[in-house]
Structure 1
Amino acid sequence: MTTTPATAVVSDGQRTVTVVSWKTTIVFAVFTVLFALLPLLAPRRGESAFRLAAGGDAIQLADLVLPADGTAWFAVVVMALVTVAAAFFTTRGRRTPLWLTAVFGVVLVIGFLAWASAGATLPVVSLLAGSIALATPLVFGALGGVIGERVGVVNIAIEGQLLAGAFSAAVASSLTGSPWAGLVAAMVAGVLVGLVLSVFAITYYVNQVIVGVVLNVLVIGLTTFLYRQVLVPNSDTLNSPELFRTVSIPLLSEIPIIGPVLFRQSVIVYVMFLAVFLVWYGMYRTRWGLRLRAVGEHPQAADTVGIKVARTRYVNMMLAGAVAGMGGAFYTLVSVPAFNREMTAGAGFIALAAVIFGKWDPLRATLAALLFGFATNLQGILSVIGSPVPSQFMLMLPYLVTIFAVAGVVGRSRPPAASGVPYVKS
């Protein structure tokens, strides 16, 4: 097994040792070389136009026109400089700053988009707004995963919670004619899946990963059976949900670029914004968050100070299920006007990757989910504008981004110490 070379820096004063890995520098170098092959082996003549305004914007920004090959080579140069800077920080015993990684990523994306959209117009607003929409269920799923692992339970059942939420939302909204009833039903379905996981993992000490996988398979089988036997014959009454409509926030929605992207969305997207803030604030600024993290890090110590470990895990796993269930509601109340079997298509596992990528932090996991949503939407946009990038590569793009993010950007990360470990009170 090979290991990434690292530099150890020792401080004689307090005898602290800092190990700085070369992983980020190596990944930067590899991606710089690979990206340079695009304009070298497949040069693209012409210009790329970036459309910065939507059709109904009060303020119409002019298109940003860039030379395709020139922008790609400029991106290669900047990426090479960032790689050198990362190597410099590593040789000095310092970690590569996050802003430097962000610069590398942004330049890579702009350079690739300019190369791929040569001779066409790329709708930037649609690309970003669609990315947020596609990332919404991933964000809800990632938040549920963060809450679960922070309290000490590995929530592999995110996929099942999303699918159960989508099914319940479709049925409840169809029966009541209210999307809000569908949203509540999705939360209840997520809670039930989380409760089943909790019973086996917390009370009976069953391996949490195995229980999560079994629950995913169970929900897939159950919803597929009900879809064929119940929803298909009664689609008009049970699978015709009332949808959430797009809501534009006055004034804010008229801000160029930002307005259409953030403030012309459905209600569930706005709920997602609120959920991210509440989970972050609650986790780091409230007694609830302190107890949650204590149980996930050292349940024995938490127990000695009077925190009921089992009850804390049960409550938070049901909360995590409710949050993930809202993500499932997005599929049938916003994205698609009907439930289809296995319509989540593995989004729960991408959300789980976002949890790891985000180092079990709600804000970082949200950013990771947004990155995956951007990669997914990009494949559709480039196909529409007729990009020469092979469709097979575009289908791989979200997963390539996942591998790059987890392998190159995250580096070493430590999950909560008691995550996945049953607590047996002595």
Structure 2
Amino acid sequence: MSSPITGSGNLGVEVVDPGAVSSATQHEHPDSSKGLEKTIVKSWKAPIGYAVFALIALLLFVILGRDGLSTFTLSGDNDLIQLPDVVVVARPTGLIVTVLLVVIAIVGFLLVRVNRRVPLWLTAVLGVLFLFGFLAWADAGASLPIQVAGLLVGSVSLSVPLIFGALGGVISERVGVVNVAIEGQLLAGAFMAAVVTSVTGLPVLGLITAAIAGALVSFVLAAFAIKYLVDQVIVGVVLNVLVIGLTNFLFSQVLSKNAEILNSPVRFDRINIPLLSEIPLIGPTLFRQTIIVYLMYIAVAVVFFALFHTKWGLRVRAVGEHPQAADTVGINVNGTRFWNVMLAGAITGLGGAYFTLGSVGAFNKEMTAGAGYIALAAVIFGQWDPIRATLAALLFGFATNLQSSLGIIGSPVPSEFMLMLPYVLTIFAVAGLVGRSRGPAASGKPYIKS
């Protein structure tokens, strides 16, 4: 049996898709396909999910439809270019959206029936349509309009820690280690950033310290999971509990008693990018942010490029998919895992710094509020891809911000349900709304050199 990883020496590692090998073999030898049966596994998760959203739309937008006008404000008072408000009639808008969602659900079922993959863009279109119909339904007859620009800005702000955590989770799992300790890495980064910045008055130094704190938490994870072969999920959960308990103790006994000295961090100022910051909707959302957000943009691009277009990324993926084969071509499997898990922790720690240096300010007990677990769900929802995981994190951030926006306009949706929305969305994501998800083959499996 040929190895799925081929090459010469340490630098010539290549990950080959077994399906691609099979296709190439049949192309070179047409007769070799005789006697082979092609197994097709259909996944109905996506079309069933589409149907559920279509039924919800039918219930809310048609059966329980509301009369009145819904107003969407696209520009803020300080925007250079002012866009006109968009006003729609709620009930007919809901009816049109419902019909379109039913059509998308039917298309999804037909695609799966003929053994074709449901494209990701179809899910995105369904989500945008459902959201538009829901906002029109919720705002019908309300005295306040939907502030679209504010909704987007708030969503990006809430997504920043999730994106950093998701990037750390992608790197860690791609190299073969399940990183359940994202929550602890975020919290450690937030704590150290607050303390160091408060003492020194230098937010840049706090940002660096946050990365170091996240890397130290990952060091413990790597040491127990890789060297001592302890179950990775258990180690991650224990680390989360340990960091929560430690930061709570230090907050109560040290920070709260010396708040002016130890818990008054200097936050980063917002930096407006010339010209780009004046683009309607996009400018206020993406280009009127702090340095941490701009670092996030760079981190997403660098991780994506490095993971799929460099020798480092090739080795990382090789170790996460087939460590035995990677070992045969000279890659130090456990060493690669160890250092990349620490790198993942450092990236996640930067996300923790955003809580105290970019948005909230002073450190509070358990201020991450489960963001690490949602970031882990974004990794799965994004199918272990940096770009898709980033989009999933943005979706979760949007869902979190939506609850406060609807509360301001006086939505008929109970506030308790809106508080549940991000976590309900997380369950849908992990359950496989986008179809089949297969993580790295060796993720969570310790490697023992034979």
TM-score range, shorter chain: over 0.9
Partner in structure 1 of residue 201 of structure 2 = 177
Alignment-derived partner of residue 194 in structure 1: 218
Q: Who is 2:428 aligned against?
A: 404
CA distance in 2, matches of 1:402, 1:47: 32
Which residue is 1:240 aligned to? 264
Once residues 431 and 55 of structure 2 are traced to their aligned partners in structure 1, the CA distance between those partners, rounded to angstroms, is 17
1:321-363 deviation digits (Å, cap 9, x = unpaired)? 0000001000000111200010001100000000111111111
Equivalent AA in structure 1 for residue 196 of structure 2: A
Indicate the residue corresponding to 1:63 in structure 2. Answer: 85
Q: Among the aligned pairs, what percent are the same residue?
A: 62
Structure 2 residue identity aligned to 1:121: P
Matched, 1:22 2:44: yes
Letter paired with 1:56: N
**In structure 2, the residue corresponding to 1:418 is in which secondary structure?**
coil
Alignment of 1:347-358 (within 5 A): 347-358=371-382
Answer whether contact 1:135 1:374 (CA < 8 A) is retained: yes
How many Å apart are 1:401 and its aligned residue? 1.6
Picking from 42, 45, 65, the partner of 2:64 is 42
2:238 corresponds to: 214
**Unmatched 5+ stretches in structure 2:** 1-25, 27-32
Please show how residues 293-372 of structure 1 align to structure 2 within 5 Å: 293-372=317-396
Q: Which residue of 1 aligns with 2:6?
A: none
8 Å contact from structure 1 (residues 27, 408) kept in 2:
no
For residue 101 of structure 2, the aligned residue among 66, 71, 79 is: 79
Residue pair 1:45, 1:68 contacting (<8 A) in 2 also: yes
Displacement of 1:282 after TM fit?
0.5
Q: How many corresponding residue pairs?
A: 416
Q: Does 1:249 align with 2:286?
A: no
Is the 8 Å Cα contact of residues 48 and 65 (structure 1) preserved in structure 2?
yes
Match of 1:101 in 2: 123
Q: Distance in 2 between matches of 1:70 and 1:196?
A: 57
Instruction: Please say which of residues 77-86 and 408-417 is displaced more in the overlay.
Output: 408-417
Which position in structure 1 is the counterpart of 2:19?
none
Mapped to 1, the partners of 2:383 and 2:432 lie a distance apart of 13
Distance 1:206 1:180 in 2: 36
Aligned with residue 189 of structure 2, among 153, 165, 174? 165
**Displacement of 1:16 after TM fit?**
2.8
Identify the range of structure 1 (414-423 vs 91-100) with the bigger mean alpha-carbon deviation. 91-100
Say which SS state the counterpart of residue 66 (structure 1) adopts: strand
C-alpha separation between the residues in 1 aligned to 2:60 and 2:69? 16
Distance 2:329 2:284 in 1: 49
What one-letter code is carried by the residue in structure 1 that aligns with 2:65?
Answer: P
Unaligned runs of 5+ in 1: 1-10
Structure 1 residue ranges, 4+ long, deviating more than 6 angstroms after superposition: 11-14
Residue 262 (str. 1) matches residue 308 (str. 2): no
1:29 CA drift (Å): 1.2
Rounded to whole Å, the distance in 2 between the matches of 1:185 and 1:169 is 6
1:15 CA displacement: 4.2
The amino acid across from 1:351 in the alignment is: A
8 A contact 1:291–1:307 mirrored in 2: yes
Q: In the TM superposition, what is the alpha-carbon distance from 1:27 to its structure 2 partner?
A: 1.7
* Further displaced range: 312-321 or 35-44: 35-44
Displacement of 1:92 after TM fit? 1.9
Q: Does 1:419 align with 2:416?
A: no
How far is 1:61 from its partner?
0.3
In 2, the alpha carbon distance for the partners of 1:285 and 1:394 equals: 41
Aligned counterpart for 1:384 among listed residues 408, 414, 417: 408
Q: CA RMSD in A?
A: 1.4
Kindly report which structure 2 residues correspond to 1:116-131, keeping only aligned pairs within 5 A, or say none: 116-119=138-141, 120-131=144-155
CA distance in 1, matches of 2:238, 2:429: 28
CA distance in 1, matches of 2:304, 2:428: 25
Q: SS in structure 1 opposite 2:70?
A: strand
In the TM superposition, what whole-angstrom CA distance separates every residue of 1:279-332 from its partner, at most 9, and x where no partner exists? 000000111101111111111111111111111111101100000000100000
The corresponding residue for 1:5 is none
Q: How far apart, CA to CA, are the structure 1 residues paired with 2:87 and 2:254? A: 53
TM-score (norm 2): 0.90
Shift of 1:22: 2.2
2: CA distance between counterparts of 1:51 and 1:405?
A: 30
